Chain A
């Protein structure tokens, strides 16, 4: 097309009707395109087209109109519309398919309809337009999932482009052939993340860490693990490995890249690509763990990347079901579980706080028992001639005296630290060091016994509180077959989750 022309875009069924009837409603849909390289003009034309699938080269047919096309327009006076305009088939110079493939797909119908089809001169513009719209749609999916999960806005500028290209699949993974063999196993996400680690730190460092941390052995074991419906971050040992590799990246390159986040994104992208169901319960747990380990923005970024990889219908179904009141035109569905990551994080933090409090209590009880034993020994030494019953009474009294000053201190310590943890989880996210609490002091008859919270206590790591909504939402809608509720071995994963967590350095909100 050498010169600018007026163009009209019809959907495939519209086109067939147009030829059959001889006219089409065209209100506001005629647009001028300079030439076949005019991607902006083409985009303007297409943006006015009915909003149907853009994945199908047969979805639309372009009509190049004659310069005097207006003389083949009919304004129809209608009782209920003053603006009805018909475009007659005589106005068309030629029909143009959007691509060569589109031309082949419409060929048979065009022959039946005796329609002349020109060459697909807008193929490049079509590809550019669909590419932009596919990306827009993916972006919407990502943001919708973030919103549905109650997370804060993602900050995509913090993702190094090298990483995001791997995550989005724009660049093939190193050793892609090997990676493909691990698809739909729990090995894939870890292997892919280790591979990206290798790209970032270099071959020598990768080899050293592979040997040091036994990464090959990790993958060998995981490749027989097909339970991809469970949370991918369920294993504490693997998470520790991920943390260590993240620290290596930080120390060598000075950038914050969390291997755990890469693992979660790669895992769900693989689950989706393998045609498996995304288990909501597992997704919420994994994103929740990322939020707890790396912060709310990191969680949002992770959810965003996964949302991009998901199917449109899956994401919109989640959105409809999670806030049914917003969608009054739709029959409410029900989700199999809460998708609010905030709820999960709060519950998890409370669980950790309870664990911590129990540990401290056990420690204090042990110290109190030791003090009581010491007091009893002292009493026995002070009254060797006392008869047995009196002795017991005396010891009891002494114990009571001994316990009385210490016990409130211990309880106070436990309550303070538990409250601190809980309040951490509900406050603005500033980290507070649990182990920095003053050691409790118990008065011994012989002196002072220190009970340190940092001795041999299984202390949970600091938890940056998630600045995400924890409001309970009414989930009374159903997403049907798109999602599963909980993985089969829920109990197991919970047990693993509650095992010791590392106190290693937290990743900032980098990904």
Chain B
């Protein structure tokens, strides 16, 4: 997956942020911006610049997820790459090693206490993130970040990854997204966002799988996103039934985390191009050579993007975030869904199998969302291609 943007293709704003931070490296900085504005891209250029200017300095890039760590590692090249250590925040905290320069992505998802500990292990600290995309109840709020890091804030306003339609859908889900004010979608591709009702869950599973696989390409995998691991398990069982495969093994805990190894092996043994991606299971590199469909949680998909994103089972009673978490943070489920829909670079397929869709997608602007009714598949001989 190519995500790295070479310097000569950075926008004026991105370059000016890069220049501005480079001139004041002694201060902490915070790169803010809507999903797809290139926060990670800018912080990547920053770390390369610091690495070049400070040949003896130790540098660490901290990501929030394993998937993002794998992705970021593909962006660094040349001698500088060998000097940049990339860790997840949990690895960084457990290693307890100090670095001269620490670059922390997705700062809003780090617990305030962890943020303080990361700062203590950093001589200089630069963060990137957007408070509107905080998807963990315990993640750092804007005031926590300001208090702990005391950064100079920089705001990126051009949205490169999302089309205008996707931006509008994201805003409809999370109207409070303040960072969006003044942000513009640079991409103008003409895409359609679909909201698709199904009478039965089995029909939905069948359609989502067929469509996701049909649209996946080598180097351009499709992704199906779910709010919880239970939802992934449920979908997988029904998919196995549709494909007439044995049911996938139940995902069990091992060393304190869910072990998806047997799950992924099951699909591989059944020649089904389906992989769970997240928490260090599955790999984006697998999709480079063959069409592949990934299953991910909303949370694990943070920081990644895909051409075709499917979000099924957005039923009226679907629980995106637990009740207790919502009591403490009433907008948390909106933010989590906001993160999920903004993973799409081009096509977004929202679907449900209840009478009405989930309240957060029930009132999406009619001007940007196409209500689609899936009819029975045409006889393959009569399929009209042109």
Verify that A and B bind, or say they do not: yes
Shortest Cβ distance from A135 into chain B, in angstroms?
16
Residues of B within 8 A of A108 (CB): 155, 157
Quick one: which of B357-386 are within 8 Å of A by CB? Answer: 380-386
For A104, A173, A175, A313, which residue has the most chain B Cβ atoms within 10 angstroms? A104
In the complex, whether B182 has a CB less than 8 A from a CB of chain A is: yes
Q: Which residues of A contact B12 (CB under 8 A)?
A: 12-13, 53, 56, 58-59, 105
Contacts of A12 in B (CB 8 A): 12, 16
**Would B218 and A226 count as touching, CB distance under 8 A?**
yes
B308 CB to nearest A CB, Å: 10
Q: Does B219 sit within 8 A of A, measured CB to CB?
A: yes
Shortest Cβ gap from B272 to chain A (Å): 16
For chain A, residues 44 to 76, give those with C-beta under 8 angstroms from any C-beta of chain B. Answer: 53, 56, 58-59
Contacts of B220 in A (CB 8 A): 184, 274-275
> Is A268 part of the contact surface with B, judged by Cβ < 8 Å?
no
Q: A177 at the A/B interface (Cβ < 8 Å)?
A: yes
Q: How far is the CA of A226 from the CA of B192 in the complex (A)?
A: 24
Query: Are A177 and B192 touching (Cβ within 8 A)?
Result: yes
Given that A12-B12, A108-B155 are known contacts, is A226 also in contact with B383, CB under 8 Å in the complex?
no
Q: Is B13 interfacial (CB-CB < 8 Å)?
A: yes
Is the C-beta of A219 less than 8 angstroms from some C-beta in chain B?
yes
8 A Cβ contacts from B201-242 to A: 214-215, 217-220
Chain A's closest residue to B184 (CB) is: A101
A299 CB-CB contact with B under 8 Å: no
B2 on the A face (CB < 8 A): yes
Instruction: Please provide the chain B residues from 163 to 206 with a CB less than 8 Å away from any CB of chain A in the complex.
Output: 182-184, 190, 192
Q: A405 near B: Cβ within 8 Å?
A: no
Contacting pair B13 A58 (CB below 8 A): yes
Question: In angstroms, how far is the closest chain B Cβ from the Cβ of A168?
Answer: 15
Find out whether the CB atom of B219 lies under 8 angstroms from the CB atom of A178: no
Residue B278 is within 8 A (CB to CB) of chain A in the complex: no
Query: Interface with B: A136-144, A191-199, A248-256, which one?
Result: A191-199
Q: Which of B2, B13, B157, B192 contacts A275 (CB 8 A)?
A: B2
Number of A-B contacts (CB under 8 A): 77
In the bound assembly, the distance between CA atoms of A237 and B158 in angstroms comes to 47
The distance in angstroms between the C-alpha atoms of A179 and B382, with both chains bound, is 16
Residues of B within 8 A of A83 (CB): none
- A52's closest neighbor in chain B, by CB? B12
A220 touches B16 (CB 8 A): no
**Which of B2, B291, B386 touches A194 (beta carbons < 8 Å)?**
B386
Interface size class, chain A:
35 or more
B54 CB–A CB distance under 8 Å = no
B270: interface (CB < 8 Å): no
Instruction: Report if B280 contacts A (CB, 8 A).
Output: no
Closest Cβ of chain A to B71, distance in Å, is: 15
Contacts of A276 in B (CB 8 A): 219
Residues of chain A lying within 8 A (CB to CB) of residue B155: 108
A401 to chain B, nearest CB (A): 64
Q: Which of A101, A175, A226 has a CB less than 8 Å from the CB of B386?
A: A175
Contact with A along B342-369 (1 / 0, CB 8 A): 0000010000000000000000000000
Rounded to whole angstroms, the CA-CA distance of A476 and B214 in the bound complex is 42
- CB of B11 closer than 8 Å to a CB of A: yes
Does A439 sit at the interface, judged by CB under 8 A? no
Chain A contacts for B192, CB-based, 8 A: 177
With CB as the reference atom, state the residue of chain A lying closest to B347.
A180
Least CB separation from A12: chain B residue: B12
A216 at the interface (CB under 8 A from B): yes
A191 touches B385 (CB 8 A): yes
- Contact check: which of A58, A107, A175, A275 meets B384 at CB < 8 Å? A175
Among A179, A216, A274, the residue within 8 A (CB) of B217 is: A274
- Tell me whether A220 and B383 are in contact (CB under 8 A): yes
A408 at the interface (CB under 8 A from B): no
> B386 to A105, Cβ gap below 8 A?
no
Whether a CB of chain B sits under 8 angstroms from the CB of A387 is no
Whether A192 contacts B386 by the Cβ 8 Å rule is yes
Q: From the candidates B8, B182, B215, B385, name the one contacting A107 in the complex (CB within 8 A).
A: B182
Interface residues of B in 273-295 (CB under 8 A from A): 291
Whole-angstrom distance between the alpha carbons of A174 and B157 in the complex? 35
Output the nearest chain A residue to B153 by Cβ-Cβ distance.
A108
A216-246 contact mask (Cβ, 8 Å, vs B): 1 or 0: 1001100000100000000000000000000
Residue-by-residue, is A9-38 near B (CB-CB < 8 Å gives 1, otherwise 0)?
A: 000110010000000000000000000000
Q: Are the C-beta atoms of A105 and B385 separated by less than 8 Å?
A: no
* Majority-rule SS of A interface residues: helix
Q: Which chain A residues border B158 with CB–CB below 8 Å?
A: 105
By a CB distance below 8 angstroms, the chain B residues around A195 are: 385-386
A298 to B188, CA, bound (A): 32
Residues of A within 8 A of B386 (CB): 173-175, 178-179, 191-192, 194-195, 198, 206, 215, 219
Let me know if A181 is at the binding interface, CB within 8 A: yes
The residues in B between 225 and 277 inclusive whose CB is less than 8 angstroms from any CB of A are none
A109 at the interface (CB under 8 A from B): yes
Chain B hits for A226, CB < 8 A: 217-218, 291
| CB-defined contacts of A468 to chain B, threshold 8 Å | none
In the complex, residue of chain A having the shortest beta-carbon distance to the beta carbon of B15: A13
The verdict on A300 contacting chain B, using a C-beta distance below 8 Å, is no
User: Contact between B16 and A194 (Cβ–Cβ < 8 Å)?
Assistant: no
| Chain B nearest Cβ from A263, distance in angstroms | 13
Q: Does A261 touch B at the CB level, under 8 Å?
A: no
In this complex, what residue of B is CB-closest to A177?
A: B192
Neighbour of B381 across the interface among A172, A185, A216, CB < 8 A: A216
Chain A residues with CB under 8 Å of B381's CB are 216
Q: Which chain A residues border B219 with CB–CB below 8 Å?
A: 275-276
Within 8 A of B (CB), among A146-185: 172-175, 177-185
Are A105 and B218 also in contact (CB < 8 A) when A177-B192, A192-B386, A194-B385 are?
no
> A254-291: contact bitstring with B at CB < 8 Å (1 yes, 0 no)?
00000000000000000000111000000000000000
Among candidates B16, B214, B217, B291, residue contacting A109 with C-beta atoms closer than 8 Å: B16
State which of B11, B190, B215, B218 has its C-beta within 8 Å of the C-beta of A181: B215
Q: Are A181 and B16 in contact (CB under 8 A)?
A: no
CA distance A314 to B295 in the complex (A): 35
Residues from chain B with a CB closer than 8 A to the CB of A216 are 381-385
Which residues of the partner chain B approach A194 to less than 8 Å between Cβ atoms?
385-386
Once A105-B157, A107-B182 are accepted as A-B contacts, the answer to whether A181 and B217 lie under 8 Å apart by CB is: no
Given contacts A178-B384, A178-B385, A195-B386, contact A184 B217 (CB under 8 A): yes
Give B160 Cβ to nearest chain A Cβ, in Å: 11
Residues of B contacting A184 with CB < 8 Å?
217, 220
CA of A226 to CA of B13 in the docked complex: distance in angstroms? Answer: 37
Do residues A104 and B217 form an inter-chain contact, with CB atoms below 8 A? no
Return chain A residues, CB-CB under 8 Å to B190.
172
Contacts of B184 in A (CB 8 A): 101, 104-105
Q: How far, in whole Å, are A459 and B243 apart by their CA atoms in the complex?
A: 49
Quick one: which of B157, B214, B347 contacts A104, CB cutoff 8 A?
B157
Q: Taking the nearest CB of chain A, how far is it from the CB of B320, in angstroms? A: 29
- Among residues of B, the one whose C-beta sits closest to the C-beta of A313 is B8
Tell me the minimal C-beta distance from A220 to chain B in angstroms.
7
0 or 1 for each of A438-451: is its CB under 8 Å from B? (1 = yes): 00000000000000
The distance in angstroms between the C-alpha atoms of A464 and B3, with both chains bound, is 45
Per-residue CB proximity of B47-64 to A under 8 Å, as 1/0?
Answer: 000000000000000000
Kindly list chain B residues whose C-beta atoms are within 8 Å of the C-beta of A313: 8
Question: Which 7 pairs show the lowest CB-CB distances between chains A and B?
Answer: A195-B386, A104-B182, A184-B217, A194-B386, A219-B385, A58-B12, A191-B385
20 A-B pairs with CB atoms under 8 Å apart are A13-B12, A56-B12, A104-B183, A105-B157, A108-B157, A175-B385, A179-B385, A180-B347, A182-B385, A194-B385, A195-B385, A215-B386, A216-B384, A220-B383, A226-B217, A274-B217, A274-B220, A275-B219, A275-B220, A276-B219
11 further A-B pairs in the complex, CB-CB below 8 A; given A13-B16, A175-B386, A194-B385 = A56-B12, A104-B184, A105-B184, A109-B16, A175-B384, A177-B192, A178-B384, A178-B386, A194-B386, A219-B385, A274-B217
**Footprint of A on B, CB under 8 Å?**
2, 8, 11-13, 16, 155, 157-158, 182-184, 190, 192, 214-215, 217-220, 291, 347, 380-386
